[in-house]
Amino acid sequence: MFRKVLIANRGEIALRVIRTCRELGIPTVAVYSDVDRNALHVRMAEEAVRIGAAPPSQSYLKVEAILDAARSTGAQAIHPGYGFLSEKAHFAEAVEQAGLTFIGPPSTAMRRMGDKLSSRTAMVKAGVPVVPGLTEPVADLDAAVREAAKIGYPVALKAAGGGGGKGIRRCADPKDLPSAFRTASGEALSAFGDGRIYIERYLDRPRHIEVQIVGDKHGNVVAVGERECTIQRRHQKLLEEAPSVILDGASRQAIREAAVKAAKAVGYHNAGTVEFLWSGGQFFFLEMNCRLQVEHPVTEMVYSVDLVREQLRVAAGEKLTLRDGMEPRGHAIEVRVNAEDPDKGFLPSIGKVANIRLPGGPWVRVDSGLYRGYEVTPYYDSLLAKVIAWGADRAQAIARMERALAELHVGGVKTTAPLALRVLRDPSFRAGDFDTHFLETFTPPRNAEREEVAALVAAVHRHLGTSRQALKARSQGAASGGLSPWVASWRVGR
């Protein structure tokens, strides 16, 4: 096992890795930008190294600065977390060339799966079902018009060189294709430096289901169950759960086998996620995320595994201890708490966290780097915290998450937590009847938060009223010569 690990990331994922390393007795090195000087991951790591100014291009995306930090502290391995450089093959190669271990998949697998067209081609060869469409980019608008007509409307135009919801446009009518093509290719070029676009069939009422896989360097690959990630806004996930409510035993086994086949086809090892779209009783390969996912805690809760521990063990050359056929135990739900205003089109909410109350209690987990005075800046992702709740069944998990979100308070910025709470209470969500367009048609009651606040205020007033009456009775007792327990307790303390 490694003697020291550097974490090339920030926030809650850096803390997540630090905690597992601490359990294993591995010292950690944090890196930080100027704006993160007082961040929790900096305080919790055994060592911390400044790598630059606040913009990611001047800090968390500076490969040489991160490698220099590893060399100067004697770190043997680098964990990339997620986001930033986590899926950049050139970073993995640079780590390896520096004589260090990259705690992630091989750069060859990252290159093949990081490009959506090469990954689609690889999956077709491996016999993994893919959404009907192209395996080559369209050269120009005229080619896009011809290929869309062959595939049949509606179609999806997608960026070939990236993911995360960028460079994707749905087109249901041929007359809208020119605008969709220009917008998708322009956004792809801006986000990834790659304006290539391909076209595939747009599936009707799809669900987003992903399979967690872990592979070792000895050729073993295991599927650790699936996650339902269908509740999204603009292709960005809001709420995830495990297991999926739509799969039965046979379909669960089939999608697991497809995920393992996909990983083996590209020589994958370490943790990763194979994502599928489910429509009409069939599943189709969507993409592969060559890293740990934000929503990995729901898998950990349901399957009683520590995925970061497995990442470290695999990177160190050890064989998997996980086995095929793991069965889910109960149900887990994760809600992402983002600094965004759902009532204003999910605009970022920038500011300082004035106060904070995190939920707790039985079977509730919170992954967060928040603290009072935390600065929400425009430089980084809007994710503030992840709340995860486990239950013996889905109903209990939902009930626990409702309680947890009602307890949560982040003062000073708007968050997506109230919206998530309304989703949890929606009859269609509770019945498991939803698709990736759920939030587009979701019309929750606008006064939901006001009712919750009013109920909380009423409860506080009742509590204060009871307390005042009790104090009045005690003071009257003392004045009449009686010794109330409250007064007696203070006299005993003298």
Between strands 236-242 and 270-279, the pairing is unpaired
Q: Which residue do the tokens 């599936």 mark?
A: 203
Sequence letter at residue 245:
V
If we measure between CA atoms, which residue out of 308, 305, 408, 281 comes closest to residue 357?
408
* Maximal CA-CA distance, the chain: 96
Check if 291 is active-site: yes
Between strands 207-215 and 270-279, the pairing is antiparallel
- Supply 361's token pair: 């209690």
Q: How far is residue 87 from each of residues 21, 90, 149, 293, measured CA to CA in Å?
A: 21, 9, 34, 11
Q: What is the C-alpha to C-alpha distance for residues 272 and 290, in angstroms, rounded to an integer?
A: 5
Q: Assign residue 220 a region: left if phi > 0, alpha if psi is -120 to 50, beta otherwise?
A: beta
Q: In this structure, how many other beta carbons lie within 10 angstroms of the beta carbon of residue 256? A: 23
Q: Assign residue 32 a region: left if phi > 0, alpha if psi is -120 to 50, beta otherwise?
A: beta
Instruction: State the SS3 of 276-329.
Output: EEEECCEEEEEEEECCCCCCHHHHHHHHCCCHHHHHHHHHCCCCCCCCCCCCCC
| Helix, coil or strand: residue 412 | coil
Q: What is the C-alpha to C-alpha distance for residues 360 and 364, in angstroms, rounded to an integer?
A: 6
Q: Of these residues, 291, 313, 336, 422, which one is catalytic?
A: 291
Q: What are the residue numbers of the active site?
A: 291
